[in-house]
Amino acid sequence: MTNVQAWAFIVGFVLPYVIVFLNQAGWSKWANFGVTLVACVLAGLGTVYFAGSLSLAHPDVGTIVQTIVIVLTASQAVYKMYFKNAVDSWLNVPTSFIKPPG
């Protein structure tokens, strides 16, 4: 496991804490998934950049894609295991600017 992969796992484990504040309770599931996907792509690119593996002259596309996939997979695993039923229900609605109807 390389340093970039290790950092991608760490970022993926922390990212659900950020995503729960970005997602809005009044949005559709697809809109919230879009926010999650964009956050994971940006976090993956940031991980590659700060690990020193992102070069505009010679980008390593394999490392970039692999890092984004690791961040996305780790964040979704943590969300499904810990956030979906426990944290999301009591933290997402109070922190949302767009409230669910009703």
Q: Is residue 85 part of a domain?
A: yes
Q: Is residue 96 part of a domain?
A: no
Q: Is residue 99 part of a domain?
A: no
The domain total for the chain is 1
Written as tens digits, the pLDDT of the chain (102 aa) is 888 899 999 999 999 989 988 888 788 889 989 999 999 999 999 999 888 877 777 778 888 999 999 999 999 999 888 877 766 667 777 777 777 776
CA 89, CA 57: separation in Å to the nearest integer?
45
- In the prediction, which pLDDT does 82 show? 82
- In the prediction, which pLDDT does 88 show? 63
Domain of 44?
3-89
Q: Is residue 81 part of a domain?
A: yes
Q: Is residue 77 part of a domain?
A: yes
Q: Is residue 100 part of a domain?
A: no
